[in-house]
Amino acid sequence: MIYTFDSAMTGASVLSGSAGALRSVLKSCLVDGFGAGAVASLTVNAGIATANYAGSHPFRVGSVGQFAGSTPAGLNGQKPILSTTASSVTFAAPGVPNGAATGTITSKLAAAGWQELFAGTLTNVMCVKPTVPEASGCVLRVADTGTTNARVRAHESMTDASTGPGTTPLEAQVAGGLYWPKSSAANATARAWYLVADERAFFLAVDPAGTGRFTVLFAGDLASFKSGDAYGYLVTGNEADQANVSTVPNGCVGYSHRSARVGAYLVRSHTAIGQAIAAQRIGAHHNGSTADAYAGTSGYSWGTYPNGPNNGLLTGPLELVAQGIRGSLPGLLHPVQDLGAAFSNGGNVDGTDDLAGRRLLAIRTAPPAGAVTAGTVFLDTTGPWSR
């Protein structure tokens, strides 16, 4: 299941240039959920349940609600939201008889099912990992003790909130860990964010300067070409404070780097021997005139949007190159064409052909400051993400 969150949702944590702000966002989306409230009434008609609220609710079409307290019990649990109004939502209720539910019914945005380790051990430090058995089991450590950035590393495992083998990136690669930007200013001004996750990985998009220009980061298991890839865990991030730069943040996965190898680290090579290694991020269709380019801009590939022969939007994966092509980032699509400003932040596109039945979320990627032309990436918010 795919879990989608954004800063404009009712009850969402505020991201700012304050210590602990990013930790709050990650914990609410990955571990706890948010936007809890009472359901005024819940009725079923022809396999569709309608939940009504006395006031507002936090849901979007495609987000996942966590419902509890209902009789019949088939209306409880995690439910992808099909439609919304200002005071109601619907979800599928196959096999549930028509009629009104009873009980003290509550709902909230469901968390993505990750586990926090060593909770409360260190102030504004969190360690999280997926709980599903098929995941690699690697742990993400986020030290959100600063203002404009948090410092991030992965570990193969952890014995306490500060210690664990398989540090990624190594200290020799990026001293102190990667930088995840929060805000270009050390204050409480809110910054926009999106988080899209499944049970094994997530994308975090942050607008650190409040300019509508997002840096998109990734942590989790990639879609590996190696069967049973026990160390196919990737974390991306900036290699310095880039919360207000006019050059490209080197941890952003909206960018394809044919000539560079920074900002992305795997916990081990495909041989399962050794330590963390740097990975190069290259769009599968990045064959245009510019060696390093944002997806959806001129120089990335050939042609403009829409594509003449089918009037379509064409996309491809972002591949990880480290001693060969290791795999791709699940759920992320790089446009093949120059899109210009055809898609805005938060816009939704319904997929066709190979992506039929899927909804794609558009995010504009660019340096926080300056005049570099913004690109666009799409995140699959329907899933499942292939691995």
For 86, the domain range is 34-109
Q: Would 9 be classed as within a structural domain? A: no
Supply the pLDDT for residue 100: 98
Tell me the helices (H) and strands (E) count for the chain, helix number first.
Answer: 1, 31
Reported as a single tens digit per residue, the pLDDT across 25-50 is: 999 999 999 999 999 999 999 999 99
Residue 26: CB atoms within 10 Å = 26
Per-residue pLDDT tens for 138-182? 999 999 999 999 999 999 999 999 999 999 999 999 999 999 999
Token pair of 310 as six digits: 């089918």
Identify the domain boundary among 67, 89, 109: 109
Tens of pLDDT along 242-284? 999 999 999 999 999 999 889 999 999 999 999 999 999 999 9
Q: What is the pLDDT of residue 292?
A: 95
- What pLDDT does 84 receive? 97
pLDDT at 302 > cutoff 90: no
CA distance 4 to 194: 8
Token pair listed for 307: 């594509």
Q: Does residue 278 sit in the same domain as residue 139?
A: yes
CATH number of the domain within which 42 lies: 2.40.30
H/E stretch holding 135 reads none
Domain stops at, among 42, 76, 109: 109
In terms of domains, do 42 and 160 share one?
no
Q: What is the pLDDT, as a whole number, of residue 261? A: 83
Rounded to whole angstroms, the Cα distance separating 140 from 234 reads 10
Q: How far is CA 314 from CA 29, 241, 247, 308, in A?
A: 30, 34, 27, 11
Same domain for 227 and 126: yes
* Residue 336 covered by a domain: yes
218 vs 265: CA distance, rounded Å: 11
User: If you average pLDDT over residues 119-144, what whole number do you get?
Assistant: 97
Domain for residue 12, yes or no? no
Is the same domain home to 309 and 192? yes
Task: Give the residue-averaged pLDDT of 343-356.
Answer: 94
Mean pLDDT in residue range 50-75 = 97
**Model pLDDT for residues 185-218, shown as the tens digit of each residue:** 999 999 999 999 999 999 999 999 999 999 999 9
